[in-house]
Amino acid sequence: MSENKNLVEGATGSWEIVLGLEIHAQVLSDAKLFSSAPTKFGAEQNTQVSLVDAAMPGMLPVINEECVRKAVRTGLGIKSKINLRSVFDRKNYFYPDLPQGYQISQFKYPIVGEGEIEIDLKGGATKRIGIERLHLEQDAGKSIHDQHPSLSYVDLNRSGVALMEIVSKPDMRSSEEAQAYVKKVRAILRYLGTCDGNMEEGSLRADVNVSVRRPGEPLGTRCEIKNVNSIRFIGQAIEHEARRQIDVLEDGGSVRLETRLFDPKKGVTRAMRSKEEAHDYRYFPDPDLLPLVISQEMVDALAADLPELPDEKKARFVREYGLSPYDAGVLVSEKVSAAFFESVASECDPKLAANWVTGEFFGALRKAGATIETSPVSAKQLGELINLISDDTLSGRIAKDVFEIMFETSDDAAKIVEERGLRQVTDLGAIEKVIDEIIAANPDKVEQVKAKPKLMGWFVGQVMKATGGKANPSSVNGLLSKKLGL
Ligand code: MN
């Protein structure tokens, strides 16, 4: 895709948007990064806090090996370099929801280094986005400002929960690319089972770095929009922030390096604080923790245990089932959709299965606010319906009606077809009779169609109407051409 397509027009010429993302992904783990306190979402406030998480004096952090494994598994999944030696540092800052007065994070020596992922864009295009690093760190607690008129409360349930911070290179050039990036990272995490990816529960949040520049010029000053928690908001935040920066620059001003917040109700970003530089945090190695050293054998074992990831699955769907890259991309974007498609395709023609799953089936789920898990139509039932099209029992159009009834009643297609007499008419004699009647009743149209063969569509429509849509379309077309002498 040419980058020029992404340029944004300002009053004084065009601008390029430059985006880099930091994704915080909560590690799927029953215990925290350095304590054994549980991590269940939605638990009562301050019921999942160990003495370590509350930063009582003299407590010592102990690394949770499961979180290390999941970080390495994720690093392998995003095709990144695994560092056998990494170091936990203290990132010092004061905030009421951070009882330690510092966050244990990784700075100079992260557990995962550079890599890349491929994102899927409209129309089947792809683009590679560089990964800068992935490091492990603790989450903070949560200040609660809306439960008392003059006091704030703090909930430390999240304090010490393991996060993977995945930092991209500034390789994205539009909100569409940034959204595609988050979707892809989320899909990979879910395939790997290292993060549940639930943005509405805060297990996946994105900090978006936005800057603008004239095409070909060096990078501009960036603003970081913190903790955006939905794909839609990421798009809105970028659009608004880029426009704001362009306006500032075109008015002769300069963009200030700062941290901003996105307000979803107003659709705008606003300044939160001026951005700290790394040296402001006085990073230093945590003296309570030895450098983290892992073995190549452990990495190899984790690599051997990787599941089939979205890109590989997509390639296989194209190769094995003959799907278009676009359809394959849609199907693999969620692990459950890919699995559903494969079980439909095991029953019937795979290409028809892909059309039906991405078309009627997803459409019906969306309309009903349902998910694959709660779908009233099972993969087996959908496969059976598709087979009724393949063996000419149903026309494609009637099959859509049958599907609608299946979706309402959960009945099998065969039962609905029998009960309602929807079997397609393939009896040539019966179709011929209908055609003869229509031809006899419309001599004027017969004259017209001889001059203008396109009008045959009108005759097809009449036959379908007369047969309640049940006539086999290819028989109708064949017989009509013959009878009308086309
Ligand atoms: Mn972080």
How confident is the model over 319-370, as pLDDT tens digits?
A: 999 999 889 999 999 999 999 999 999 999 999 999 999 999 999 999 999 9
Distance (angstroms) between ligand 1 centre and the Cα of 136 equals: 9
d(CA 456, ligand 1 centre) in Å: 65
Looking at the fold, whether 33 and 171 belong to one and the same domain comes out as yes
Is the separation of the CB atoms in 410 and 385 below 8 Å? Answer: no
Do 361 and 469 reside in the same domain of the chain? no
Q: Closest Cα to residue 402, out of 356, 370, 367?
A: 356
Residue where a domain stops, chosen among 420, 443, 475: 420
Residues 329, 369, single domain; the answer is yes
Measured in angstroms, how far is the CA atom of residue 292 from the centroid of ligand 1?
19
Ligand 1: distance of its center to the CA of 452 in Å? 69
Q: Can you give the pLDDT at residue 467?
A: 85
| 168 shares its domain with 296 | yes
Is the domain of 294 the same as that of 330? Answer: no
Measured in Å, residue 243 CA sits from the centre of ligand 1 at: 26
CATH number of the domain within which 449 lies: 1.10.10
- Non-local CB neighbours of 109 within 8 Å, separated by 6+ positions: 83, 85, 86, 87, 291
- 134 CA → ligand 1 middle, Å: 10
Cα of 46 from ligand 1 centre, angstroms? 22
Q: How far is the CA of 141 from the centre of ligand 1 (A)?
A: 13
Q: What is the dihedral of CA 228, 231, 237, 240, to 10 degrees?
A: 180
The two tokens of residue 190 are 């879910």
Distance from residue 165's CA to the centre of ligand 1 (Å): 6
| 386 touches 352 (CB < 8 A) | yes
On whether both 438 and 473 belong to a single domain, the answer is yes
pLDDT at 193: 97
- Into how many domains does the chain fold? 3
Distance of CA 380 from the midpoint of ligand 1 (Å): 44
The answer to whether residues 399 and 447 belong to one domain is no
pLDDT tens figures, 89-123: 999 999 999 999 999 999 999 999 999 999 998 87
Q: Is the distance from CB of 80 to CB of 115 less than 8 angstroms?
A: yes
Q: Which of 249, 268, 302 marks a domain boundary?
A: 302
pLDDT tens across the length of the chain (486 residues): 444 578 999 889 999 999 999 999 999 999 999 999 999 999 999 999 999 999 999 999 999 999 999 999 999 999 999 999 999 999 999 999 999 999 999 999 999 999 999 999 887 789 999 999 999 999 999 999 999 999 999 999 999 999 999 999 999 999 999 999 999 999 999 999 999 999 999 999 999 999 999 999 999 999 999 999 999 999 999 999 999 999 999 999 999 999 999 999 998 999 988 877 778 899 999 999 999 999 999 999 999 999 999 999 999 999 999 999 889 999 999 999 999 999 999 999 999 999 999 999 999 999 999 999 999 999 999 999 999 999 888 888 889 999 999 999 999 999 998 888 888 777 888 889 999 999 999 999 998 888 888 888 899 999 988 888 888 888 888 889 888 887
Query: How many angstroms does the Cα of residue 43 sit away from the middle of ligand 1?
Result: 23
99 C-alpha to ligand 1 centroid (Å): 17
pLDDT at position 83: 98
Q: Report the Cα–Cα distance between both ends of the chain, in Å, rounded.
A: 45
For residues 232 and 215, state if they share a domain. Answer: yes
Residue 27 CA to residue 33 CA, distance in Å, equals 9
CA of 196 to the centre of ligand 1 (A): 18
My answer on whether 35 and 123 are in the same domain is yes
91 C-alpha to center of ligand 1: Å? 10
DSSP letter at 82 equals: B
Q: Which helix (H) or strand (E) holds 481?
A: helix 473-484
Residue 392 sits in the same domain as residue 367: yes
364 and 437 in a single domain? The answer is no
For residue 124, give the 3-state DSSP assignment.
helix
**Contact indicator for 460, 389 with CB cutoff of 8 Å:** no
Q: Which residue range forms the structural domain that includes residue 197? A: 3-302
Shared domain for 276 and 321, answered yes or no, is no
Among the candidates 372, 401, 420, a domain finishes at 420
User: Do residues 200 and 230 make contact, with C-beta atoms less than 8 angstroms apart?
Assistant: yes
Residue with tokens 């945590």: 286
